[in-house]
Amino acid sequence: MNDSLLAYFGHHRCASNWILAVVNEVGSLMGLRVSNGLHRPQLFNCDLHSYVNKHRLDFLCYTNADYAFVRELFDIKGFHVIRDPRDILISSYYSHLYSHSTDGWPELAAHRERLHAATKEEGILLEMDFRAWEFKHLASWDYTRPNILEMKLEEMSASPADAFSRIFRFLGLLAEPDGHNSRPELVDLLKANINRLHFKSRGAIPVRLRQRRLSGKQLDRIVSRHSFTRLTRGRKKGEEDVTSHYRKGEAGDWRNHFSDEILSAFKNRYQDLLEMLGYESNQNWTR
């Protein structure tokens, strides 16, 4: 494992809670200092570099990532997760209508009142305005940095184990299988068990040891513990609960909610973004 700062960069309604859960459990086993999901600049006083140094972080998690703040970080090894903006829009609409906490977010409380007073079509168009800042962040991101792995949520959701293996291998945290239990692997396993006790005791057991690498089996177990079915206590992907933070878990659901007016408005405002992110190649897409 190198000494670069590790990082996860995400965006609103791009499964950040799920990804954070996996990253935090990996971090706890490996003895890494992982930040909370930073979702607004005020939490790091608009200075990520100083925040990282102050808290001596090993792994930064910035879940509403604005590249204007990320560009100051050079010695990093990270991954960045995006999602089809049309699915972001629909997921945000239902989250803001029902489930997302308004604590510390007075703008959302006022927005929720407007959504409840509107028809569904009107509400989604209102949400399109409310999401403008996020789509601006997606458009202004630098997708060419070789030290940041670009991932699409659709790929991660389709094959979570493969996606997280790719991510943690890129970060230098995943051990390559060698077919036998070597002494370093056994030492890492012992460290992981000690770190697990530290995590479960919430620091009452003060020992925390840096693990060199995570085994594939360890990662598979972590990813399995945070599957959609477990997070929703039994629902499968595609089974909808509009009041749940994990509403449906299905890519392409926007097709079930876009009217002609919404489709036209989205094309007028965000066609270039869809093409830039690789979700469409021209304006001929329909429901």
The CATH number that applies at residue 179 is: 3.40.50.300
Q: Within 13 Å and on the Cβ side, how many CA atoms surround 198? A: 19
pLDDT of 242 reads 57
As a whole number, mean pLDDT of residues 6-13 equals 97
- Is residue 53 in a domain? yes
* 285 domain-assigned: no
Q: From its phi and psi, is residue 39 left (phi > 0), alpha (psi between -120 and 50) or beta? A: alpha
Assigned token pair, 226 = 């945070």
Closest by CA to 13, choosing from 84, 98, 76, 97, is 84
> What is the per-residue pLDDT for 236?
54
State the average pLDDT for the chain.
87
Q: Is residue 62 a part of any domain in this protein?
A: yes
DSSP state of 38: B
Domain count, the chain: 1
pLDDT, tens digit, 9 for 90 and up, residues 246-274: 556 688 999 999 999 999 999 999 999 99
15: left (phi over 0), alpha (psi -120 to 50) or beta: left
- For the sheet containing 76-82, what is the strand order? 59-62, 5-9, 76-82, 148-152
pLDDT in tens, 192-214: 555 555 556 556 555 455 556 88
Q: How far apart are the first and last CA of the chain?
A: 45
pLDDT digits (tens, 9 = 90+) for 161-172: 999 999 999 999
What is the 8-class DSSP label of residue 174? Answer: B
Across residues 44-65, what is the average pLDDT?
Answer: 96
User: 165: exposed, middle or buried (C-beta count within 10 Å: 0-12, 13-18, 19+)?
Assistant: middle
pLDDT for residue 124 is more than 80: yes
- Location of structure tokens 């513990």: 225
In a domain, 189, yes or no: yes
Query: Which domain range does residue 166 map to?
Result: 5-277
Helices (H) and strands (E) in the chain, counts: 13, 4
Is residue 163 a part of any domain in this protein?
A: yes
Alpha-carbon distance of 116 to 120, in angstroms, equals 9
**CA dihedral sign, ordered 251, 257, 262, 263:** positive
**Confidence label for 228 from pLDDT (cuts 50, 70 and 90):** confident
Q: DSSP 3-state assignment of 198?
A: helix
287 part of a folded domain: no
On whether residue 20 sits in a domain, the answer given is yes
Q: What is the pLDDT of residues 62-107, one digit of tens each?
A: 999 999 999 989 899 999 999 999 999 999 999 999 989 998 889 9
Does position 276 have pLDDT exceeding 70, yes or no? yes
